[in-house]
């Protein structure tokens, strides 16, 4: 099964080049150069992943990301020309899973895409339990009692990574490697922002988290200590 | 030490007292107002003193003179009257009648009641009346000189200042006038009349005190006038100087208030015109600089999208170069390498433009510099091995986390270590981490070709190269050290370099423990203290587990040099 990837970028040369790279790697790229039509195009194509330029004519990437996220948990990777501006954080906050800074090399791009498309590692055991949540790894489902909680694949992966070893404290670097596939020092804001998003969905009181707790100076863990 | 404490207040007082001349001198030197006022007061005082003194003297003289003349006239008249009365009297041989007559005559002739007569002739006489004294004037109050003179010269009037005891026992100024009279049959008598000058003295005192009071008031008034006059000049000057100072500090919006059309207003107007001109120029320069920074930033951003395309393409071509003929394959390889270089250059340029625009934000988190440096040394070891260079790591301190932006610090270190490997000529490169109570520091030292001190001063300049012909093997855009310095300063830290041609180079990055900035010496001296070969022969730092027990906890292990004494104690205990 070839994965379909929607490339939203107004620079046609770059879009085409990304297309060539993706095709070489066995993906099926589809394109959209107009921000205003991106969401429509996404609905029509139902891609497995979206590569989204942040600076677009018509509608900016943040807005597109927000709209797509309101309908789907599809992986979104932002393409950005800026590495340290508020844009990146805003993009992550509205639900982009990852970002890649221009100019990137094809291996980096493909590695990022593959990580996001990688299926959740199959859990051999039955459902994971953490505080009052039940995580059915095979069914990709999280429930509190009988009520299902909708998570994006990334958030699900993050929760599973934490819940599968409830006694362990995960540093941000460890989570970056396990969930985002970074093998080198990367931006820990990715972890911070997505933990916040995850908490907003799974915690009863996000300001006073019980499921994903912060271990000061180290990182995060599932449940509370002891 | 309690005695010291009790002495202290008095000592302070004495010190204060001793300080007065100094503070007076300071005030004199610093304050135009004080100086002018003091000078005005001093000069006015002298002038008033002299004027009043002269006036008082003149008044005194005139008063005395007038009163004396009056007294002399009065005495003269009295003498004449008495003489006349005596001459016309018919009291031959009757001593008692003569005595009575004389007493009567004398009692009414003068305005003064203090009258005395005594006989000058000492030839015995039956009729000569006895000496008599009226109003408290006695013979022993008169000086011998006066008596002698009066006795000697029959026609002359003599006078002498005289102290009269008033009714209240107080001494008054007075004058006593003496003259001879001749009593028929009895011979020459000295007639003395004393005049009380208390009223004149009173007048004089009143006049003098009025003079002094008026003088003092005059000095006071002049002082106040001088104060206001000086103030009206000095205040605008003070205002102008304060405004200039604020302007110098960068508040370009300040202006002097302009009142009226006098000289001070002119000063204000000139100052304001200057300020307007400077402000306009600075604004213009600022705008130009901002436009330029924006331009660099925009260009860098705009270049990124096409560069991404080029990079993707170059990468693809490079991956497939085996399928090309050799020349095309080499071209693809070159293209790939140069695009990479271009990419780095652009990234560095963008970073520099961010510093210039002041838009860099640190993302600080508590980080152990020793751990960070150790990880980096591990990361760089393969590169060092490629250059046949040994990378050593020594960390006597710097283990406790300190607030820093780890990505930036790592970038600085990567740059320094890369440089050291490139210029180290295969000699070992030593990375040292240490700390004191104010700062943590990391030093990167090589024993390569080094540089002349003049060159070492320029290593942080953009695009600067010690030797333009020197081959570059490890990336490097010529911006790395500028960026490293920018990062260090952003942390409130310092990045120093020591280099000597033929000996080697040492870079030391010092980061403050708190936001206060680096104070005092860096934990690692810039100039190497020991030969490179002697340090860090062991690559690994001493693991904490086997570290001597004198480090009671991890907190102490981070090497606060300030607690050396405490450590010494610990060691002492151990030995004991």
The alpha carbon of B552 is separated from its chain's Cα centroid by a whole number of angstroms, namely: 48
Longest dimension (CA), chain B: 179
Longest Cα–Cα distance in chain A: 55
Whether residue A19 is predicted with pLDDT greater than 90 in this model: the reply is yes
Which long-range contacts link B347-352 to residues 24+ away (Cβ below 8 Å)?
Answer: B348/B477, B348/B479, B348/B480, B348/B483, B349/B296, B349/B300, B349/B477, B349/B479, B350/B297, B350/B300, B350/B301, B351/B479, B351/B483, B351/B486, B352/B296, B352/B462, B352/B479, B352/B482, B352/B483, B352/B486
Q: Crossing angle for the helix pair B326-357 and B263-319, nearest 10 degrees?
A: 160
Q: Chain A: residue nearest B366 by CA?
A: A217
Is A13 near chain B, with CB under 8 Å? Answer: yes
- Top CATH class of A128-222 equals mainly alpha
Q: How much is the pLDDT for A83?
A: 57
* Chain B contact set for A84 (CB, 8 A): 354, 360-361
pLDDT number for residue A44: 93
Q: Which residues of A touch B315 (CB under 8 A)?
A: 105-107
Chain B contact present for A86, CB below 8 A:
no
* Any B CB within 8 A of A108 CB: no
Q: From the list B315, B363, B407, which residue is nearest A105 (CB)?
A: B315
Does the beta carbon of A84 lie under 8 angstroms from any beta carbon of chain B? yes
Q: Tell me the average pLDDT across B484-497.
A: 88
Q: Does any CB of chain A come closer than 8 Å to the CB of residue B239?
A: no
B482 contacts: CB under 8 Å, gap ≥ 6 = B352, B460, B461, B462
Residue B232 structure tokens: 């009206």
Chain B residues in contact with A104 (beta carbon < 8 A)? 308, 311
CA-to-CA distance for B241 and B253, rounded, in angstroms? 15
Judge: B311–A105 Cβ closer than 8 Å, yes or no. Answer: yes
Residue in A179, A35, A27 with CA at minimum distance from that of residue A106:
A27
Q: What is the pLDDT of residue A102?
A: 84
Partners of A102 on chain B (C-beta within 8 Å) are 304-305, 307-308
Beta-carbon separation of A81 and B304 below 8 A = yes
Q: Do domains A4-117 and A128-222 have the same CATH topology?
A: no
CA distance B129 to B86: 12
B544 band by pLDDT with thresholds 50, 70 and 90? very low
Q: What is the pLDDT of residues B10-64, one digit of tens each?
A: 555 556 677 788 888 888 888 878 888 888 889 989 998 998 889 889 988 888 8
Task: Give the chain B residue whose CA is nearest to the CA of A110.
Answer: B312
Bond before B232 cis per omega within 30 degrees: no
Interface-testing mutation among A55, A82, A105, with chain B (most B C-beta atoms within 10 A) = A105
pTM, 2 dp? 0.56
Taking the C-alpha atoms of residue B573 and residue B552, their distance in angstroms, rounded to an integer, is 12
For residue B510, what are the contacts with CB-CB under 8 A and spacing of at least 6? B439, B440, B441, B488, B493, B494, B495, B496, B518, B522, B523, B524
Residues 43-72 of B with CB under 8 A from A: none
**CA–CA separation, B425 vs A223, rounded Å?**
54
Quote the CA–CA distance of A147 and A157 in Å, as a whole number. 19
Asked if A11's CB is within 8 angstroms of B312's CB, the reply is no
Residue A33 is given by DSSP the state -
Going by the DSSP 8-state scheme, the letter that residue B136 receives in this structure is T
**In a 3-state reduction of DSSP, which class is residue A183?**
coil
The pLDDT assigned to B549 comes to 40
ipTM: 0.81
- Reading the block at residue B469, the tokens are 């012909």
- In tens, the pLDDT along A30-66 reads 999 888 888 999 999 899 999 998 878 778 888 999 9
- How far apart are alpha carbons A128 and B119 in whole angstroms? 151
Q: What stretches of A94-221 show up as alpha helix (H) in DSSP? A: 106-117, 153-164, 172-175, 189-202
What the block records as the tokens of B303 is 């270049």
Q: Please write the tens of the pLDDT for every residue from A94-130.
A: 989 999 988 888 888 999 999 888 876 665 566 788 8
Q: Is the pLDDT of residue B81 over 80?
A: yes
- The domain locations on chain A are 4-117, 128-222
According to the model, what pLDDT value does residue A32 have? 92
Interchain CB contact of B309 with A (< 8 Å): yes
Asked if A21 lies within 8 A of B316 by C-beta distance, the reply is yes
Residues in chain B within 8 Å Cβ distance of A107: 315
Q: What are the tokens at B146?
A: 């006066």
Q: What is the pLDDT of residue B476?
A: 65
Query: Do A13 and B306 lie within an 8 Å CB cutoff?
Result: yes
Residue A8 above 90 pLDDT? yes
| B249 vs B123, residue with greater confidence | B249
Least confident of A142-146, B311-315, B513-517: B513-517
Q: Does A104 touch chain B (CB under 8 A)?
A: yes
Class of domain A4-117: alpha beta
pLDDT score for B256 = 84
A216 touches chain B (CB under 8 A): no
B421-475 pLDDT, tens digit per residue, is 888 888 889 999 988 888 899 999 888 888 888 888 888 888 777 665 555 555 5
**Residue pair B195/B185 in contact by the 8 Å Cβ criterion:** no
Q: Please state, in angstroms and rounded to a whole number, the distance separating the CA atoms of residues B565 and A131.
A: 51
> What pLDDT is attached to residue B568?
36
Return the structure tokens found at A8. Answer: 């939203």
Give SS3 for A108: helix
* Contact with chain B for residue A17, Cβ under 8 A: yes
d(CA B351, CA B277): 34
Size of interface A-B (CB pairs under 8 A): 55
Interface of B with A in 372-411 (CB under 8 A): 401, 406-407, 410
Please compute the mean of the pLDDT values over residues B489-514 and round it to a whole number: 87
> In Å, how far is A103's CA from the nearest CA of chain B?
4
């Amino acid at each position: 099964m070839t994965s379909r990837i929607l490339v939203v970028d107004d620079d046609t040369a770059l879009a085409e080049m990304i297309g060539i790279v993706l095709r070489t790697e066995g993906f099926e790229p589809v394109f959209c150069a107009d921000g205003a039509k991106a969401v429509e195009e996404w609905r029509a194509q139902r891609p497995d992943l979206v590569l989204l330029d942040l600076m677009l004519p018509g509608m900016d990437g943040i807005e597109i990301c927000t709209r797509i996220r309101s309908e789907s948990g599809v992986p979104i990777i932002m393409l950005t020309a800026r590495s340290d501006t508020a844009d990146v954080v805003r993009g992550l906050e509205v639900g982009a899973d990852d970002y890649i800074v221009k100019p990137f090399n094809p291996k980096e791009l493909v590695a990022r895409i593959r990580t996001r498309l990688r299926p959740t590692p199959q859990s051999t055991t039955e459902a994971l339990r953490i505080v009052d949540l039940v995580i059915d790894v095979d069914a990709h489902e999280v429930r509190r009692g009988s009520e299902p909680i909708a998570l994006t694949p990334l958030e699900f992966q993050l929760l599973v990574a934490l819940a599968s070893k409830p006694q362990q404290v995960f540093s941000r670097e460890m989570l970056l490697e396990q969930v985002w596939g970074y093998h080198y020092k990367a931006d820990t804001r990715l972890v911070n922002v997505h933990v916040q998003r995850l908490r907003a969905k799974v915690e009863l009181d996000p300001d006073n988290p019980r499921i994903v707790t912060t271990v000061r100076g180290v990182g995060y863990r599932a449940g509370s200590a002891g | 030490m309690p005695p010291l404490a009790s002495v202290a207040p008095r000592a302070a007082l004495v010190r204060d007292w001793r300080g007065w001349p100094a503070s007076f001198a300071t005030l004199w030197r610093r304050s135009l107002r004080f100086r002018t006022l003091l000078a005005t007061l001093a000069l006015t005082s002298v002038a008033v003193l002299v004027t009043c003194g002269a006036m008082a003297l003149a008044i005194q003289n005139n008063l005395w003179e007038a009163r004396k003349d009056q007294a002399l006239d009065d005495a003269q008249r009295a003498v004449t009257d008495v003489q006349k009365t005596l001459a016309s009297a018919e009291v031959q041989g009757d001593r008692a009648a003569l005595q009575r007559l004389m007493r009567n005559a004398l009692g009414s002739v003068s305005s003064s009641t203090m009258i005395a007569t005594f006989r000058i002739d000492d030839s015995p006489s039956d009729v000569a009346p006895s000496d008599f004294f009226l109003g408290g004037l006695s013979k022993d109050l008169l000086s011998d000189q006066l008596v002698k003179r009066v006795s000697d010269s029959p026609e002359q009037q003599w006078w002498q200042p005289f102290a009269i005891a008033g009714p209240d026992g107080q001494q008054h100024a007075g004058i006593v006038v003496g003259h001879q009279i001749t009593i028929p049959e009895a011979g020459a008598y000295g007639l003395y009349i004393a005049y009380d000058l208390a009223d004149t003295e009173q007048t004089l005192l009143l006049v003098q005190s009025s003079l002094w009071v008026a003088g003092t008031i005059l000095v006071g008034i002049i002082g106040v006038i001088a104060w206001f006059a000086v103030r009206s000049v000095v205040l605008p000057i003070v205002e102008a100087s304060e405004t200039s100072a604020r302007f110098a500090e960068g508040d370009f919006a300040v202006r002097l208030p302009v009142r009226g059309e006098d000289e001070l207003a002119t000063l204000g107007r000139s100052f304001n015109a200057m300020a307007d001109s400077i402000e306009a120029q600075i604004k213009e320069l600022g705008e130009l600089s901002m436009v330029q920074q924006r331009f660099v930033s925009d260009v860098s951003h705009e270049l990124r999208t096409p560069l991404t395309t080029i990079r993707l393409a170059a990468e693809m071509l490079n991956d497939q170069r085996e399928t090309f003929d050799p020349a095309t394959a080499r071209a693809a390889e070159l293209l790939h390498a140069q695009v990479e270089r271009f990419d780095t250059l652009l990234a560095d340029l963008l970073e520099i433009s961010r510093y210039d625009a002041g838009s860099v934000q640190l993302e600080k988190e508590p980080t152990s510099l020793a751990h960070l440096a150790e990880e980096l040394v591990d990361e760089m070891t393969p590169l060092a091995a490629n250059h046949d260079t040994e990378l050593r790591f020594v960390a006597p301190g710097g283990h406790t986390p300190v607030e820093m932006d780890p990505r930036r610090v790592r970038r600085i270190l990567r740059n320094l270590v890369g440089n050291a490997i490139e210029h180290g000529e295969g000699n070992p490169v030593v990375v040292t981490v240490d700390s004191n109570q104010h700062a943590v520091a990391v030093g990167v030292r090589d024993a390569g070709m080094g540089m002349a001190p003049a060159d070492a001063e320029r290593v942080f300049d953009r695009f600067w190269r010690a030797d333009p012909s020197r081959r570059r093997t490890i990336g490097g855009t010529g911006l790395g050290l500028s960026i490293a310095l920018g990062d260090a300063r952003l942390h409130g830290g310092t990045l120093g370099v020591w280099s000597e041609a033929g000996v080697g180079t040492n870079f030391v990055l010092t980061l403050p423990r708190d936001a206060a900035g680096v104070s005092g010496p860096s934990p690692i001296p810039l100039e190497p203290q020991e030969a490179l070969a002697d340090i860090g022969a062991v690559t690994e730092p001493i693991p904490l587990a086997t570290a001597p027990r004198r480090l009671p906890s991890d907190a102490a292990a981070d090497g606060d040099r300030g607690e050396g004494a405490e450590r010494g104690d610990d060691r002492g205990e151990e030995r004991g």
